[in-house]
Structure 1
């Protein structure tokens, strides 16, 4: 289900569309092979391998995010209890997880990626009490991004592919920091999951 939202105090409408492996695989492949993405996603592989990766996702839900009709972001959302991450920290039954990236370097620093993060968090927090991510501890840009969004540290863990900072945002803290975001996303997403 595709949904759109304009967050309070924003003028940019974001659209979240489910990724279609065959149609969107080339774009995702391009982004996954960019120098600012490869170290963190480790998916600098062929277009066929990216399409297979996207088609093989089970508990991860992939999204393309657009602003002004142009795709710029890739997001994966998931229920943490269905993911191996749940075994590495004190996960709650309703924890909701995410991974995200911004493809075009030209979008960094525009403020639009922060709007994407706010919308992702609002969408997840409408489904659970806490949103969680686990960036590589060496990814300073992502750690700063998460800090600006209001996520706080639950500690560091050794995952099979990286040393990760487990970061979380509680619903009450999010609502205080970004009032109205969850309501705007609920209206834009039509209350669907």
Structure 2
């Protein structure tokens, strides 16, 4: 898919634990990822993690055919996060990371975030994420995408900032993105 105003083509493909495990393992063990994901573990543990996901849907994101991002999407009602903030029916959640440091600052990760939010907001009225409050890079990233704070919560593994974006807020900031993602999904593409 290509979002309005962008020249980069993004593809989202479901992660396959066997085929994609080595790449996800590599990224999870990078110094800019380990503190936030806490999955700097051996390859077989990553494959087990990926194979064992139930309510989280893992995606591998590529730009012009080159993988650079990992995303997990989920319905908040099925996640423990729902107990920690005033969740609304239909809230959609996400986690994401950029593997190669060379991609950070290129603008491509922001396109990934826009596509993820567009996809989620085509399914619910609000999208949320819960980065660690110490992760300044992720907090700034989410701010640039248009998410705003719902407050901080103490989760079992971290103090988190619960951030959200409504469909109306997203559409005002990124007009046309939801339609572009919907068109790809309707055509049978991985969105």
Superposition TM-score tier, normalisation by shorter sequence: over 0.9
**In structure 1, which of residues 34, 39, 48 is the aligned counterpart of residue 35 of structure 2?**
39
Once residues 123 and 59 of structure 1 are traced to their aligned partners in structure 2, the CA distance between those partners, rounded to angstroms, is: 17
**In structure 2, which of residues 172, 178, 181 is the aligned counterpart of residue 182 of structure 1?**
178
Once residues 6 and 138 of structure 1 are traced to their aligned partners in structure 2, the CA distance between those partners, rounded to angstroms, is: 32
Once residues 54 and 190 of structure 1 are traced to their aligned partners in structure 2, the CA distance between those partners, rounded to angstroms, is: 27
Q: Which residue is equivalent to 2:7?
A: 11
Q: Which residue is equivalent to 1:72?
A: 68
**In structure 1, which of residues 21, 24, 32 is the aligned counterpart of residue 17 of structure 2?**
21
**In structure 1, which of residues 74, 96, 100 is the aligned counterpart of residue 96 of structure 2?**
100
Q: Which residue is equivalent to 2:137?
A: 141
Q: Which runs of 5+ in 1 are unaligned?
A: none
- Confirm whether residue 125 of structure 1 aligns to residue 133 of structure 2: no
CA deviation digits over 1:45-80, x for unaligned, max 9? 000000000000000000000001100000000000
Q: Which runs of 5+ in 2 are unaligned?
A: none
- Confirm whether residue 153 of structure 1 aligns to residue 172 of structure 2: no
CA displacement at 1:189 relative to structure 2: 1.5
Once residues 33 and 42 of structure 1 are traced to their aligned partners in structure 2, the CA distance between those partners, rounded to angstroms, is: 9
Once residues 191 and 86 of structure 1 are traced to their aligned partners in structure 2, the CA distance between those partners, rounded to angstroms, is: 32
The number of residues matched between the two structures is: 189
- Confirm whether residue 59 of structure 1 aligns to residue 34 of structure 2: no
CA deviation digits over 1:10-33, x for unaligned, max 9? 000100000000000000000000
SS in 1 for 2:165: strand
CA deviation digits over 1:96-134, x for unaligned, max 9? 000000000000000000000000000000000000000
CA displacement at 1:191 relative to structure 2: 7.3
